[in-house]
Structure formats: structure tokens, C-alpha cells
Structure 1
Amino acid sequence: MKILLIDDHPLFREGVALLLKPLVEDLQTWEAGSCEEAFALLAQRGGADLVMIDLGLPGLSGLEGLARLRSDHPEVPVVVMSSADDKDTVLAALDAGAMGFIPKSSTSQVMLGALRLILAHGIYLPPSAFLGGRAPPAAERTAAAPPSPARERRPADLGLTPRQADVLHLLLQGKPAKLIGRQLNLSLSTVKAHTSAVLRALNVTTRTQAVLAASRMGLCFENATPPREATAEPDGLGGIKWA
């Protein structure tokens, strides 16, 4: 597995690279100090399996870099790491296509658990995404999600068909409509129709709102198979679950 770390502080990159070692066997970590350096690295070495990016970068900003990564490499999950974890910042990262947001104040256990969830095609959000502001210190340490529902809900509980559930599954991962169509062998118009149906079922109008709604209800997908290196959901972490 190849993970690209984009952060302008070499010491932070080196520390994260060490913390990532227990994540999977045969892990390769690539390091870049800016988005421009990261794009050059990807062009030279090929695609990575996961990108972790800071928002406060010199040159092209983290959000701009994130948007370009999602455009040029839509199949690669991108995770934001930032010391600013207020709700607006988290939502802006989700709007740009991030599959997760890990505050730099998180513990190594929280970071590894969040990455395992993301590698299993889930989405990790910090408590501040739901609390309306910056998470209190206790919440930051445990990364406790909003109260879990009494039971997990599945797309069928929302009245969605299996194919609509497939579209929702990929939509939550930030996949664009054309890629969803190719992956599911559907026409673009059919993908758009299914997308409208799943957004109505969640009572939202955007992907970001869908991510938050699915996280709140503990939405569980049964048909997606996580990678061998990842577990379906780390203990004690909130997120969307692919069983």
C-alpha cells in the first residue's frame, strides 16, 4: 500500500509516517511539502492508494489541491489533516471531496482507526462536524461520534432499491456521476435519477449533507467488500459503516 503525505512540516510528516507503520504490512509512505510537489510525485511514481493532505500549505492551498486530486484521481481516497477542525472547515473539506477529516490534535489510535474505516470505503468525521463548532478537549481525545441510533439502518429502511443503494454507496465516497455510471454500468441520466432519489430519501440536497445524514443515522451497507488490509469499522469511532 502506498500513502502520500502532503504537509509543509517535515517533522510532522516523519512522525505521521512512523505512526502509520502498524496500519498495513508493506506500507510505503511518500512525502511532499506542497501540492505542486505532490502532483509531480504522482506523475513520476503513479497513483497512491491514499492521500493525506494538510489544508495550510504554501502555494496551492490544501482545499485547491484536494479538489484537483479528486478531479485527476477520483478513485483515490483523500483524507484531510488539519489543526483547524471547526465545522465550517470540515464541511468545506467534504464539499471538496474529502473522504475523512482527522484533526491534528487526535491521538494515534484515533488516526489509525479513522484510516482503517476510510480504507474500508467508509467516511470518518470528527465530533466538530456535528457539534456546530470546535470539539471540546474530551471529545477530541476520544473522537466520540454523535449518539448512535438504537439500531443500524440500511438503505432498504429508507425505501431505496438495491441499485439506488449502490449509487448512494459510491456517492458518499465522493465518486462523480460519470465514474459511478462506469462502475455500475449505468447511463449518466440513470445515475442522476438515482442520485435525486437517494438525496430525497435522506432529505438532503448535496453530497456533504448526505454524508452527515448517513453518519448520524449509522447507515450500514452490506454489499461493499472492504480491502483485505482494512477492517469494517474501528471500535469507538463514528462513521458510515460498510459491512
Structure 2
Amino acid sequence: MKILLIDDHPLFREGVALLLKPLVEGLETWEAGSCEEGFALLGQRGDADLVLIDLNLPGLSGLDGLKHLRQEHPAVPVVVMSSADDKDTVMAALDAGAMGFIPKSSTSQVMLGALRLILSNGIYLPPSVFLAARAAPAVSAPPALAAPAPPSGRRPGELGLTPRQADVLHLLLQGKPAKLIGRQLNLSLSTVKAHTSAVLRALNVTTRTQAVLAASRLGLRFDEPAQEVPAGLSEASIASSSR
């Protein structure tokens, strides 16, 4: 697995790189001090498996960089790591295509847990995004909100989703467009749209951003990344052969 870290503080990048090392065997980390450097690395080395990006960067801002990544590298999931974790900032990052958000103010234990959750196909968002906007500042967040969702989070099947709908949801949460989802799963655009409508209904939401919030709140966990369906093999035949 290859992870690109985009942050203008070398010490922070080095610390995160060390934190990531034991999470996945054979992990390779690339470091960049700006969006422009990160884009250059992707151009030289090919797509990474995950990008962790700060929002406050020299040159092109992290938010604009995130939008660029979604357009130019739609297959690469992006997670924001920022010192600002107010609801507006988190929502802006999600609207731009981020699949998760980790505040830099998090303890090393919470950050490590969030990264583990993300690398195991989960979604992590800061507790602040779920708290009422007018909550009294003197009241601390409950312990359950201070750490990532537990490893035993719910599975998409518990929401009534089929395995293929779960695959579409997994890729949708990563910010991948319908055409790319269709290519990865060998599905027609109309089928992808039908599955997308079904998963949004199951989550009782209408947009991808709302779906990310709902998935995080539910602690949704996915199995291995979606695998491509061989050309000419229908979903029905796969379902019957797996019984």
C-alpha cells in the first residue's frame, strides 16, 4: 500500500509516517510539502492508494488541492488532516470529495485509531460534526464520541443492501464518480445510478456528503475493496454461484 502525505510541516509528516508504519505490512509513504509537490509525485509514481492532505498549505490551498485530486485522480481516496475541525470546515472538505476527516488536535491514540479505521475500509469523522451547533462549550463530548467507531461496526448488509450495492456505496463514499465506479465494477452507468439511488434510500439521505456522515455515524465497515466483475458475467450468475 502507498500513502501520500501532503503537509507543509516536515516533523508532522515524519510523525504520521511513523504512526502509519505498523498499520499495514509493506506500507510505503510519500511526503510532499505542498499540493503542487504532491501532484508531481503522483505524476511521477502513479496513483497512491490513499492521500492524507492538510487544508492550510502554501500555494494552492488544501481544499482546492482536494478538488483537483478528485478531478485528476478520481480513483484515489482522500482524507483530510487539519488543525481546524469546525463543522463548516469538515462539511466543506466532504463536499469537495474527502472520504474522512481527522483533526490534528486528536491524541495519538485517536489518530491511530482513525487511521486504522480508514485503512480497514471504514469512515472516520470528528465528533464535533455530530454535536449540536449550540452545545455548551463547557460540556465535554461523551467518551464514546472521543474515539473512532468500534471495529465491530455495522455491515452494509444489515441495512438491506446487496453485496454489489455495498460495493457501489464503498466507492461512492471514496468520492469516486459514477463512470469510474461503473468501470471498476464492470457495470453500466444506469445500473450504477440505480444502485446509488438504492444505497442513498437505505441511508435515508440524498447526497454523497450526507451518506459519508451517515456511514460514519453508523460505524459502517466494508469487506475487501470492491472487485471487478468479469466481463460477460452477470450479477445474478455471480450471486447464484456463491450460494
Normalised by the length of structure 1, the TM-score is: 0.79
SS across alignment from 1:47: coil
> Does structure 1 residue 51 correspond to structure 2 residue 51?
yes
Who is 1:102 aligned against? Answer: 102
Q: Distance in 2 between matches of 1:190 and 1:36?
A: 36
1:6–1:32 CA contact under 8 A, matched in 2: yes
* 1:131 counterpart SS class: coil
Deviations 1:124-164 (A, max 9, x none): 1110121145998954998536999xx96544444444433
Question: Structure 1: how far apart are the matches of 2:165 and 2:53?
Answer: 31
Quote the RMSD (CA, aligned, Å). Answer: 3.0
* Structure 2 contact 8–34 (Cα < 8 Å) conserved: yes
Alpha-carbon spacing, 1:107–1:137, altered in 2? closer, same or farther (3 Å): farther
- Which residue type is aligned with residue 173 of structure 1? Q
Between structure 1 and structure 2, the one with the greater Rg is 2
**Sequence identity (%):** 83
Gaps of 5+ in 2: 226-243
Residues of 2 paired with 1:63 and 1:186: CA distance?
A: 31
Distance 1:49 1:137 in 2: 38
Separation of aligned partners in 2, 1:76 and 1:25: 20
Alpha-carbon contact 2:99-2:212 (below 8 Å) kept: no
Give 1:186's aligned residue: 187
3-state DSSP of counterpart to 2:171: helix
SS at match of 2:214: helix
- 2:67 maps to 67
C-alpha deviation, 1:84, in angstroms: 0.4
Partner Cα distance (1:33, 1:21) in 2: 20
2:202 is paired with a residue whose SS is helix
The CA distance in 2 between the partners of 1:43 and 1:178, in whole Å, is 22
Q: Which amino acid aligns with 1:188?
A: L
Distance, in Å, in 2 between the alignment partners of 1:68 and 1:182 is 21
Deviation at 1:182, TM superposition (A): 1.4
1:202 and 2:203 correspond = yes
AA of the residue aligned to 1:120: S
Equivalent in the alignment of 2:24:
24
Q: What residue number does 1:84 align with?
A: 84
Once the two structures are TM-superposed, the CA of residue 102 in structure 1 deviates from its matched residue by 0.8
The 1:45–1:77 alpha-carbon spacing in structure 2 relative to 1, beyond 3 Å, is same
For residues 128 and 157 of structure 1, do their structure 2 counterparts lie closer, same or farther at Cα, with a shift above 3 Å needed? Answer: same
1:233 aligned partner: none
Q: How far 1:105 moved relative to its partner? A: 0.8
8 Å Cα contact 1:87/1:132 also seen in 2: no
| Inter-CA distance 127–74: structure 2 relative to 1 (3 Å threshold) | same
Gaps of 5+ in 1: 227-243
Name the residue aligned to 1:144. Answer: 146
Query: How many residues are treated as equivalent by the alignment?
Result: 223
**Matched ranges for 1:157-196 at <5 A:** 157-196=158-197
